[in-house]
Every structure is written in C-alpha cells, then in structure tokens.
Structure 1
Amino acid sequence: MYLTQGLQRALQQTPDSVVTICGARRRTFSEFGQRVARLAGALQQLGMVPGDRVSTLALNSDRYIECMMATWWGGGALNPVNIRWAVPEIVYSLDDCDTGILFVDDHFLPLVPGIRASARRAPVVIYIGEGQAPQGMLDQEQLIAASAAVADAGRGGEDLACIMYTGGTTGFPKGVMQSHLNLWSACIQRMAEYPQGSENRDLFVMPLFHIAGLARVVSGFIAGGSFVVLPTFDPAQVLATIERERITDAILVPTMIQALLEHPNFAEHDLSSLQRLTYGASPTAGEIVERVLAALPDLKLSHSYGLTEACPIVSTNPPENHSAAARASGLSRSVGRGGLGVNVKIVDPQGQEVPRGTVGEIIVRGPNIMQGYWNKPQETAKALRDGWLWTGDGAYMDDQGYLYIVDRLKDMIVSGGENVYSAEVENVIARHPAVLMCAVIGVPHEQWGESVHAVVVQKPGFTLTLDEVRNHCRDAIANYKCPKSVEFRDTLPLSSAGKILKRELRTPYWENKHRSVN
C-alpha cells in the first residue's frame, strides 16, 4: 500500500513499455524510472526528509508526473498548487504546511518573484520548463543528470502522501491530508469495479493538481498503462489526440464534454478507440448524455461522485445505467451507489439514518477517507465523526441504494468543476471601501453549471460597478472565483439572529429547477 509500487512492478515486468507521451516525448518505464530515482536523489540532497512537503505549480506534462513520483520515491509528500490561484492563495498553501521546494514551469514563471517575496519560507524553486532555467532557479534536467539514483524510500500505509488544498468555509483553504493507504485504496476500490489494464491508453487533460487527475495517475501506475498528457484542455487538441494516439480512456467534466460536442470539426475525427468516458466534478445536464451517446453509441459512459476528502470516489453510476431505458426512467440522473469498500448513509443532523427517499446529509466511511485537515483540529473534528466523513452534500437514497443529490448543505458553488466557497469571495469583496455588506451565491449557468453571483449593499455615498468589484477580487483570488454577476441592493434579508438568509437570495434563480444545484 505505497504509491510507488506500481512503478516498481512495471520496472520489473514491462520496462520497455511506453508510460508517458507528451508532445514529441515518449518515455518507457525504464527511462521514466531512472529519471524519477535520480530526481528523488536530488530532492534529498536539497534537504527533503521523510514527510517534507514538495509543491508543483505547472500545467500538465510528463515532467509534472515525474515530480510527483520522485517526491514519493524520495519519501516526501505532495502539495500540488491550484494553477488558477492568485499569488496570495499560493503563498497561503505553501506557508500553511511549510513547503520548502517548488517546481515551476514556463507558464508560471511570472508568479515566482511574488511568491518568493511574500512566502514566510522562500522555497527552493526548480524549473521544469522547455528552455533554460532562469537565474536563481535550479534546473530539473541538470539535477537529474548530476544526481545519483537512490533507492525507493518505501513509505506507505498511513504515511502522509499528499496535502491537497480545497476551499474553506471560513474563507481560508483547508489542507486535506491523504495517506498512501487512502489514495491506494481509493484507486484499488475503483479498479475492482471497473477493471483497468496495461493496454489502457489514458488521456490526461484534467489538471493534475485536482484529486481526479492525481488519483488517475496512481491508478494508471497500478495498472501499468500509458499516459497521454496534454498541458490543458483545448477541444481541437483533445479531439486530434484521441484520434492520433488511439486513446481508450478519459475523464472529463461536463463543460469539457460540451465543448467537444460543439466543436465544428467533431464529426471529422475518428474517435472509435475511445472505450470508456467518466464524467464528474460537477453534475451534467441530461441532454449532454444524450448527445454523447448519439455520437458514440458504443461508448461506456459512467458518472462518478466524490470529493477531495474521499480521494475522491464515493459512488459511481455505471454504463448500464446510461442505457436508453435507464435514461427514460431517470436512473441516469443518480450519482450511483456506494463503491466497493465504501459505506454510505443519508442521515439527519443528529447522525440518525433517515428513511429511503428522505433528504439528508451524505456521510461516508472507508479506507479512502482522509486523515484530516492539516493543522485544523476543529475543522477535522467537524468533518470526521466516529469514523464517518460528513460531506455537507444533501441527497436521498432510493430502495436500491442509488444516491440522488438534491442540494448542497455546505456553502459552496461548483463552477465548471471548480469549487468556490462563498465565504472566501465574501471576505475579499467586504474589504472594498465602498462595501457595507455582501453575500455570494451560486446561480444557474448554461455553460459552467453554476456561476458566482454577488449581492452587495453599498455604503452611503458610494457607487460601484460590476467591473470594479471584479477587478478588486482579481488582486486576491483566482479569476474563476470572481463574481460573474453583481446585484446591488439596499438591504439583505436577515434572520432574527442577524444571519444573511441566502436561501431567499437563491430562490428566484432556482425556483423552476428540480434541484438546488446545477
């Protein structure tokens, strides 16, 4: 139960098989393993000791995957950086868990001076781009060439493998601590239901800082398959890559699927190699499922529900539940049943299981559930109770155990597959000198599922515009968290305790919807 085991197995059994394809670069397991062992040695020489955190701020690449595996091989723990964050958010995550080494590619070089200037502990920066390392940075290729290969540190089980920062309802990100056992179990559980082998050729376009991308890497190494890596999502490039590289498997969020279907050259590409497509990270509209299966009738389509704290899978709705009959019956709208090794219950606020068909909160138990939140004992105690993870998601379960999500109990917006926590955005807006009060909610959006909407009460004598609010937010948070729309009001609805009644703000936007998330 250690995350380098799959690489060890492939080095023994299939050393000459290709593991990574990134542009013109193709590396066999043997080549990849040597690079990983040497890079791990370099990290140790730079001071990385067991459990030390190492971050990567980069677009997807074969080098990113090398950094991940080298960190584990050398005994460290990952702290992947959200590539859509602003500098203050990046620095918070580095400072919070005392990260000492940061890998950076060409795309994010402009952020390095700001990170170095404001981080409590300026990290050692290693360049993993396509050119020469800028002055003051180490070069990954030079480190690999100059370092001796080291033996696998062999960390596993309950040893810390990863800290993944997710938005916090307090306005600050929370570091989800995942052990080797958590991640390994989650992948094995998934693979037991949906077999994955060395013949798989997996498309990596989901960002690797996301749990969906990271877990896909782990399961890929366990299976011994090949990774075809794209730096970011581009519909034309994805379609061409599926055809050229004969991709068999992919995971996409609904907005990506929609972009592929709507691309003008979609019908011109041979996508017959694609056997399995998993969609997740945000719910999808039924018409997208209909369109995908109309275009690719032999495709095995499945929908997964999960969260970072579960590494990530809680439940999956399998391909057989996407048949014409299942779509007509509404079964395809379910997020499936609890996976192998995962216990799922729907409970009331006291933790008592509610009758089937009754809405309550989803709680989950299994070996895939996180260790807790880094340095946040109160948040951990709230989320983990008696061995169960309280997800904050509202749902009901039918008589066959299928889950149907109907609302989000925690104050979170999912926009294009990205989690946006209202409190974080509200804290930024409230710092504007013209703002008296504000509330942030999610409203339906045709393309992104939900979009960020701010309701603002201005101080007397001040006048704000949407652009002014957005520009103010951009300096502190990622663009996807900034409000797409702003409503100005004289007052906000308040409870008798003075709490803003967000449900009243949300109702006009969701009253004609069959559920309160999109």
Structure 2
Amino acid sequence: MYLTQGLHRAMQQRPNTTAVRFESKAITFAELGTRVERLAGALRKLGIANGERVAMLSANSPRYIEYYMATPWAGGVLNPLNTRWSASELLYALDDSASSILIVDDTFRALGIRLASEARSLRHVIYAGDEDTPDGMLNYESLIAESEPVEDGRRQGDELAGIFYTGGTSGFPKGVMLSHTNLGVAALTTVAIGHVATGTVFLHAMPMFHLAGFSAISALLACGGVHVIVPAFTPRATIEAISQHGVNRLMLAPTMLQMLLDWIDGNPAESACLDMSSLTRITYGASPISQTLLRRAQQAFPKAEFVQGYGMTELSPVCASLGPEYHTEEAYASGQMRAAGRPAMCVEIKIVDVQGREVPRGTTGEIIVRGPNVMLGYWNKPEATAEVLRDGWLHTGDGGYMDDDGLLYVVDRLKDMIVSGGENIYSAEVENAIASHPAVAQCAVIGIPSDRWGETVHAVIVAKPGEVVTAEAIQAHCRERIAGYKCPRSVEFRDSLPISHVGKVQKNVLREAFWTNQQRSVA
C-alpha cells in the first residue's frame, strides 16, 4: 500500500470529474493530479530526500490535499501541525521531527515568519497564501508553475508515511509514526464502515490536520468522491456548504454537532432557506455523544444515518465503529447506543487485566488492540513506545469491557488524559504550565463533565504560604505557555491535595465529586 494509490486510480478512471469544491472553485482529478506532480517536483528541487519531513500549518483548503499527496509523491514524510497549538508547541514539533520544509497559509503568515527564524531544522518556508509573499519565503503557486512533474516515488508498506503529533504525558507532544500500510488500512476501514463510497460528496468541516480528516481524504480519493471544503468550521459555513453542494456525508465532533443544531434553532428564518436534505450520513467521534444531543440531531436530520468512531492517533485512528443499527429506539432502550462499537476491519480487540490476561465478557479491564492499523511507535521515544506496544498489542490506556455480543464499551480512562471538544489534553502539559507560576505550590488537573465539550479542564491548586493568586491569573499564565483549549476553564484553591500512601495525588478522589451519577467516568 502507498498513500497516493487512490489519487492514481482517480486520475485514470475519473480525470474530468470534479474532485474538489472550494469557495467558487471546482478542480478535476486531472487538475489535482497535475498540481500534485508539480508540487512534488518542487519539493525535490528544494532537496527533499526520501524520509525527510515536510510540515504544514494551514486552515482547510485544496492545498492541504495537495500537500498530503505531493509529500509522499516526492518521497517525503508528512508532519501536519495542529492549528490550535501555541508557537512553542509548534516549534517543538518542528524541531523534534527535524522538519526541513514548512508550508504556511495566510492565516498563519505571521507565525510562519517566527517559526522560520526559530526552528533549527527548517531549510525553506513555503507561503501558500494569496497575499504578497513574505521576505525569505517561497511562493507556493510559483513553485508549482515553475516545476516539472515528477514520477511518484511510491514509498510504501512499512515505510514511514507521517508523524502525527499528539499530546504527551511527559508534558511534551509525542510524534506518532504511521506507515503507508497504517494509513492505507485506515482508508479501507473508512470505506468498509460506509463513511465514504462512490458518489459521496463529503464536507471537510473538521480541521484537515486531524488524522480522521486525512483518512477521509485518502478514502474519498480511492472512491472518486467529491471533496467539499470550508476553511474552518462554523455552523453557518457548514450549513451553507451542505445546501450549495448537496453534501451527503459529514464528520463532526459532538461539540460541533451541538453548535450546528444551536445555530439552526437560533436562526430559524435563515436555516429554513437552506436545504440540508441531501445529508444521508453523519459520523461523529473524538468523544462520545449524549443521548439528548443524538436524539436532537436525529430529529434535525431525519434522513441521515449516524455512526460513531472510536480510536486514537496511535490506531490510525479508528479501531471500532458503532453503526446505524445501534442508533435506534431499541438501542436506546437496551443501552447499546452507549457502546463504542464493534472492532473495525482487520482489527483485533481484547480486554485484559493488569497482568495482560484476557478477562471474561462484561468485566472491565484495559482495552488493547492488534492489527495493521497499529502505529510503528513514537518518534525518538523508544521507552514510551515500549510502554504501550507489547507483544504486538497496543495498550490504549482506556478501560472498558466487551459484552456477550462483541460490542465494546469504554467506561474509564486509565491514562491521565482529558478529551475536550474532540481534542486530547494531557494533564501533565497543563500541570507543568500551572506549576511554573511563582505562587503555586502544588496542582492537579482533571477533566470534569461538560454538556457542551464532553469534558473541560479543571485545576485544583494549593498556593504557597503567604501567596494570593486568582483563577484569572492562573488562566492568563497558562495562555502564555500552552494552547488556549488546554487552559483550565475552572480553577479551585484548596489547602491540600489528597495524597496516596505512596505519595501520588489521588485524582480519582478529586474526580469523584464531579462524576458521581454520570453514566461514564470519562466523556
């Protein structure tokens, strides 16, 4: 398997069919393929060797698809950057991966200038915007126009295809190494669960740097479907794109779905003028959905099937899916709607105890996964890799159980991570930021339930003797050091933290007051 396989097929089978719709533009598969071949030629002229990393920091656009295809075409390795990260987090990912080239758009022009001067490994920064090219940068369109097409390098199989950074328990992001096989299987899985198919008109409303978005891109190219793109998610832009282009498949985090429904309810006159009847399937993921929100969405989109995906970056990213048959009144009544789903194609899932032994059905243990979707490991982190990859199985750190029918349920999180609005937030990252405040003696960060975000970040702080600090000061301090979505939404101050007999903060005690009477102990 190799990443560009689907594009080759589409160029051969559907050259004059529309591949991408963005704003007023329509791009055919032949046009897309030509631009990819020329961009790959430009990357090679700039010295990209096999296995070298090419990063991108950009809002959604057709150029993101070109980047995803041209980089492996040229023999490079992908490094798509999280657009919500702070400059220091982005700089870490660039330096850690030793990325040679960075592509930035108008949205991140100023940040690109800063990263160009501070990142140690960058040789070139390419400006993929529509304004004047900043000094010291190369122009994206000029490079394509001036470069000759090149043959596809066809890196494949277990060769490294991309480094996708995720939060790190040590306080730094971890680069998840995914192979061409990993990402090829992810595309096939996306097709197998019915997320895309021939005739699909898919809306990219989620950030395209996300691995879930990448899987949809690869699968859609293989099926010859249409990519409809909005620069960033907003309810209005999403609904207008559905109406204008006849979008029939959509993927959203539950928080996005709620914002969409809130906009429809709050703007009845405008929404009545927009035709959303083309939607036939909505896939949600990144965090489970509440029954209240799901019922509301089903009423708003009565023609649409609903599907949930469960997984993580390390699993490319999906390992289980809950299909439309579990989004019914019967499933509500039986509780099956709360399941994470059944194992995806080519995936094995087991529930094990602390000794790694499989537990009986209905017994809670750690969810472990084996299959061609499992990552190669963490970039430059052999100890962290060895901790989660054991005997061919990836240990997810999630607690769950499997029922007698083979449905997987996620009930707890064994690793210290918060999922807020579909973003993974590791407590250690936030705690490191808080602990650097001069007035803080101790702190602990936990996730607490939120109807809108699934979970929000909550900080419990013990101040140093004689020091007075406010929640607002802590939040402002964090915003200077980490991405805004990682900063605590709420802060409480205590005289002490609950400590175990071995000296560890008992976060289960801190969480208990917030999660009592909740159906899950994670969102």
- How far apart, in 1, do the equivalents of 2:120 and 2:151 lie? 32
Equivalence for 2:367:
362
Query: Which residue is 2:267 aligned to?
Result: 265
* Equivalent residue number for residue 293 of structure 1: 298
Structure 2 Cα separation of the partners of residues 258 and 472 of structure 1: 30
- Contact kept? 1:363, 1:390, Cα under 8 Å: yes
The amino acid of 1:507's aligned partner reads E
Aligned with 2:472: secondary structure? Answer: helix
Question: For residue 378 of structure 1, what is the aligned residue in structure 2?
Answer: 383
Structure 1 residues 192-218: Cα deviation after superposition (integer angstroms, max 9, x where no partner): 342743311100011111111111111
1:198–1:226 contact (8 Å) kept in structure 2: no
Question: Whole-Å Cα distance in 2 between the matches of residues 40 and 91 of structure 1?
Answer: 25
**What is the TM-score with the length of structure 1 in the denominator?**
0.98
State the Cα distance separating 1:114 from its structure 2 match. 2.8
What is the Cα deviation at residue 495 of structure 1? 1.0
Residue in structure 2 matched with residue 128 of structure 1 by the alignment: 128
Q: Contact 2:447–2:457 at 8 Å: present in 1 too?
A: yes
Q: Partner of 1:289: helix, strand, or coil?
A: helix
Matches of 2:498 and 2:217, distance apart in 1:
46
Aligned position for 1:115: 115
* 1:360-509 superposed matches below 5 A: 360-509=365-514
Question: Which residues in structure 2 correspond to 1:230-379 (within 5 Å)?
Answer: 230-263=230-263, 264-265=266-267, 267-268=271-272, 269-379=274-384
Q: Match for 1:121: what amino acid?
A: S
Higher alpha-carbon deviation: 323-332 or 97-106 = 323-332
CA distance in 1, matches of 2:305, 2:215: 20
Could you tell me whether the CA contact under 8 Å between 2:368 and 2:396 is conserved in 1?
yes
Which residue in the other structure is 1:160 paired with? 160
Supply the distance in 1 between the matched residues of 2:116 and 2:187 (Cα, whole angstroms). 36
Summarize the Cα distance change of 1:119–1:56 in structure 2 as closer, same or farther, 3 Å threshold.
same
Structure 1 residues 117 and 490: CA distance shift in structure 2, 3 A: farther
Please give the secondary structure, in 2, of the residue aligned with 1:39. helix
Aligned pairs, how many?
518
**Is the Cα contact below 8 Å between 1:189 and 1:340 reproduced in 2?**
yes
Q: Provide the rounded CA distance (Å) in 2 between the counterparts of 1:125 and 1:442.
A: 37
Moved more, 257-266 or 57-66: 257-266
What SS does structure 1 have at the residue aligned with 2:385?
A: helix
Deviations 1:402-428 (A, max 9, x none): 011111111000000000000011011
Contact 1:157/1:179 (<8 A) preserved: yes
More moved, 493-502 vs 188-197: 188-197
Provide the secondary structure at the position in 1 that maps to 2:456: strand
Distance of 2:465 and 2:160 partners within structure 1: 51
Contact 2:195 2:281 in 1 (8 A): no
The question of whether the paired residues in 2 share the 8 Å contact of 1:305 and 1:314 is answered with yes
Superposition RMSD on alpha carbons, in Å?
Answer: 1.1
Q: Report deviation, 1:332.
A: 1.0
Quickly say closer, same or farther: Cα 1:262–1:413, change in 2 above 3 A: same
Distance across 1 between alignment mates of 2:472 and 2:129: 34
Mapped contact 1:345–1:353 kept (Cα < 8 A) = yes
Question: Any gaps of 5 or more consecutive residues in structure 1?
Answer: none
One-letter code of the match for 2:374?
Answer: I
- Distance, in Å, in 2 between the alignment partners of 1:148 and 1:301 is 44
Secondary structure in structure 2 of the residue aligned to 1:79: strand
Counterpart Cα distance in 1 of 2:124 and 2:91: 14
Q: In the alignment, which residue of structure 1 is the partner of 2:84?
A: 84
Indicate conservation of the 8 Å contact 1:190/1:339, yes or no.
no
Whole-angstrom distance in 1 between the partners of 2:116 and 2:139: 17
**Would the aligned equivalents of 2:190 and 2:215 in 1 still touch at CA under 8 Å?**
no
Q: Which residue of 1 aligns with 2:66?
A: 66
1:271, distance to aligned residue in structure 2 (A): 1.2
- Taking structure 2 as the reference length, the TM-score comes to 0.97
Structure 1 residue 446 displacement after superposition: 1.8
Query: How far apart, CA to CA, are the structure 1 residues paired with 2:439 and 2:361?
Result: 49
Alignment partners' CA distance in 1, 2:297 and 2:97: 42
Deviations for 1:350-375, whole angstroms, at most 9, x for unmatched residues?
11011111111100001111000001
Q: Deviations over 1:155-192 (max 9, x none)?
A: 11111111000011111111000000001012213323
For residue 345 of structure 2, give the secondary structure of its aligned residue in structure 1.
Answer: coil
Q: Deviations over 1:229-258 (max 9, x none)?
A: 111110011111101100011110101111
Which amino acid in 2 is paired with 1:46? Answer: L
Separation (CA, whole Å) in 2 of partners of 1:347 and 1:405: 13
CA distance in 2, matches of 1:177, 1:281: 20
- Give 3-state SS (helix, strand or coil) of 1:262's partner: helix
Structure 2 unaligned residues grouped into runs of 5+: none
The question of whether the paired residues in 2 share the 8 Å contact of 1:441 and 1:506 is answered with yes
1:186 and 1:367 in contact (8 A); partners too: no
What CA distance in whole angstroms lies between the structure 2 residues aligned with 1:512 and 1:245? 43
> Amino acid of the residue matched to residue 303 of structure 2?
D
Per-residue CA deviation, residues 70-94 of structure 1 (Å, 9 max, x unaligned), is 1011111101100000011001101
Moved over 4 A (4+): none
2:227 equivalent to 1:222: no
Change in CA separation of 1:412 and 1:327 when aligned onto 2, cut-off 3 Å: same
Matched, 1:3 2:3: yes
Q: Describe the SS at the equivalent of 1:423.
A: helix
Check the 8 A contact 2:77/2:163 in 1, yes or no: yes
Give, in angstroms, the shift of residue 123 of structure 1: 4.3
